[in-house]
Structure 1
Amino acid sequence: MRVLMTGLGDIAHKAYLPVLSALPQIELHLATRNQPVLEEAGRRFRVAGLHASLAAALATGHFDAAFVHAATDAHPALVRTLLERRIPSFVDKPLAADLDEVERLVTLADRQETLLTIGFNRRFAPSHVALTGLQADLIVMEKHRHRQPDVSRRVIYDDFIHVIDTLLFLAPGPVQRQSIETRVKRDMLISVTLVLAGEGFTAIGTMHRNSGLNEERLDVIGNGQRHSVLNMADEICMDGRECRQRRGDWVTVGRQRGFEAMCLDFLTGVEERRPTNSGDILATHRLCEAITVHAEQFRSHAMTGSQQIAMP
């Protein structure tokens, strides 16, 4: 399988190249305009197929799959080029930072009958996957940042999107109602809370951008039990008593955080000619846009706003 990776930023080096470069069944190629980064990645991960641009790589022949790890603003043009050539594409979240663009790309993937996948690694992290079979009526996910207020669209689409997608992934039924609360000060998003509810369950996601520590916590509660995952490393189960488990010494970060399973699932989907899961992609990005629009309505000097919406 001939596979192309375009964009060689930090996440590509930390999460994807260690996985893909170790797979014997693929012929990996790399493309970026940053020549020193390209050469260093080629040496470090022993990749021979190096290209100065996406166009230069595509000129060498057809690719069976592509991974896009460029900046978010570059996603639409790169993904459109790949999909028009019917090359199955895996893209870092978000697909785009604009809902109209997301919808156009998903429509193109469907029209081309070409797999389009977004990198939501928490759907593949073993600690999170283990929570899907539980009888849960309350799901709470917190993802906080230490002194990092930022503009609403960037926070929601680049970071809070993981909280949104994880809640949708773990929700035990269709979401029927949602409510949004945001706090904005001097055009910077300070905090956001999303509540999703359906028959017999409530899912709450929250983020504070001026917290005391960078941290992430997921709690799934119900049936007399509470299962928690802290920073995607520590697992705690409470059932009248507390049991703690931490990632094993020999378990790689890529495996624990879901990147290994996610990459393999995408490549398997390519081989199986799996269709794009348009519904999941659109549901997550539409909530991103709804929260962003809500926050932008309250971006004067210092305001807090809340909104409740009944889902169709």
Structure 2
Amino acid sequence: MKIALIGIGDIAKKAYLPFITTTFSNVNWVLCSRDSTGLAQVAAQYRIKETYTDYKQLLTAGVDAVMIHSATSSHPSIAAFFLKARVPTYVDKPLADNAHDCEALYELAEQHRQPLYLGFNRRHIPFYNQHLVDVQKGKPQQSLRSLCWEKHRFNQVGDVRTFIFDDFIHPLDSINIFAKTDVQDLHIISQFQGDKLARVDVEWQQNGTLLQASMNRMFGRTQERVSANFDNQSYQFDNFISGILWQEDKTELLQEKDWQPMLATKGFESMIHEWINVVKTGVLPDNQMARNLSSHQLAEAVCHKVVSGLK
């Protein structure tokens, strides 16, 4: 099997290459980047022999799949190129910076019967999934009363669309466990610093569960917090490896095994294994496609509501 990585920015170098090049010995990895100098350095570091500076050359290279790690603005054109060529395609979130392009790409994937996989690693965090059983599959094994996902940053106010699609889409997708498509009952609150978005909060209720996502980019520190409440059972996680469980009016400290590698605790390992299986089978489950689309549609709705509040 031959799989190409397109784009060698920080996410590719930190989260993907260290894992994939040491785990999947049966995969021939190929690198592609317009940065020829950086391309040569990364290829040498990870002992990758085959490299290209133009992604269109990958078709003649006979790749079986591609993984797109380039800038968000380039995602639609590159993904469309490979889907039309009937090549299974992986894209780091977001698929695009607007819902229209996402919908068009999934129509293209369906037309050419190719899987279009999105890299939402927070769906795969082992520690959370161990305790919040099947929540990220949209089928919690207990009665889920509420799920709140906060992702905050220090001093990083930004453009509305970039803020929401490149960053806020993580907590938004993480609570969108039932693949919500109806945006009419979204409750959205936003705060600005000048003309830059500083904070956004979104909540709704679905299937009896209160779902809340929050991002404050004028927070005192970079931080992520997840809380979930079941019947008389409550969890709080302040990182990917530890948390608190409250039940029977008692407190229990929860801790992940300390030998777990960072990429495993952040969900990348499980996610990439799932992607490799999608390449092998050529099938992306319908519920994943629905959630991918709905999360981008929700992000679009949030953008419109936030921008309209500025006028």
Structure 1 residues 156 and 174, CA, compared in 2 at 3 Å: closer, same or farther? closer
Alignment of 1:1-312 (within 5 A): 1-22=1-22, 23-60=24-61, 62-130=62-130, 131=132, 132=135, 133-169=141-177, 177-239=185-247, 240-275=249-284, 277-299=288-310
> Which amino acid letter does the alignment assign opposite residue 164 of structure 2?
I
Query: Do the aligned partners of 1:140 and 1:204 also contact (CA within 8 Å) in 2?
Result: yes
Q: 1:8: how far off?
A: 0.6
Q: 1:207: how far off?
A: 1.1
Q: 1:128: how far off?
A: 2.7
CA distance in 2, matches of 1:206, 1:74: 27
Deviates more, 1:280-289 or 1:177-186: 177-186
Structure 2 SS opposite 1:148: coil
CA distance in 1, matches of 2:198, 2:233: 32
> Which amino acid letter does the alignment assign opposite residue 310 of structure 2?
R
Q: Structure 1: which 5+ residue stretches go unaligned?
A: 301-312
> Which amino acid letter does the alignment assign opposite residue 278 of structure 1?
M
TM-score (norm 2): 0.91
Q: 1:299: how far off?
A: 2.7
> Which amino acid letter does the alignment assign opposite residue 111 of structure 1?
Q
Structure 1 residues 172 and 234, CA, compared in 2 at 3 Å: closer, same or farther? farther
CA distance in 2, matches of 1:21, 1:252: 15
Q: 1:196: how far off?
A: 1.8
TM-score (norm 1): 0.90
Deviates more, 1:251-260 or 1:127-136: 127-136
Q: 1:201: how far off?
A: 1.4
Cα deviation 1:103-140 (Å, max 9, x = unaligned): 11111001110000111001111123231234320111
Cα deviation 1:36-83 (Å, max 9, x = unaligned): 2111211221211111221233332x2111100000001111101111
User: Number of paired residues?
Assistant: 298
CA distance in 2, matches of 1:33, 1:99: 27
> Which amino acid letter does the alignment assign opposite residue 298 of structure 1?
G
- Which residue is equivalent to 1:310? none
Cα deviation 1:245-279 (Å, max 9, x = unaligned): 33433211111111111111011012112146431
Structure 1 SS opposite 2:97: coil
Query: Do the aligned partners of 2:181 and 2:294 also contact (CA within 8 Å) in 1?
Result: no
CA distance in 2, matches of 1:8, 1:234: 31
> Which amino acid letter does the alignment assign opposite residue 268 of structure 2?
F
Structure 2 SS opposite 1:137: strand
Query: Do the aligned partners of 2:243 and 2:254 also contact (CA within 8 Å) in 1?
Result: yes
CA distance in 1, matches of 2:196, 2:172: 20
Q: Structure 2: which 5+ residue stretches go unaligned?
A: 136-140
Query: Do the aligned partners of 1:175 and 1:198 also contact (CA within 8 Å) in 2?
Result: no
Query: Do the aligned partners of 2:127 and 2:256 also contact (CA within 8 Å) in 1?
Result: no
Q: 1:172: how far off?
A: 10
Q: 1:185: how far off?
A: 3.5
> Which amino acid letter does the alignment assign opposite residue 254 of structure 2?
Q
Structure 1 residues 165 and 234, CA, compared in 2 at 3 Å: closer, same or farther? same
Q: 1:174: how far off?
A: 8.9
Structure 1 residues 99 and 255, CA, compared in 2 at 3 Å: closer, same or farther? same
Query: Do the aligned partners of 2:94 and 2:118 also contact (CA within 8 Å) in 1?
Result: yes
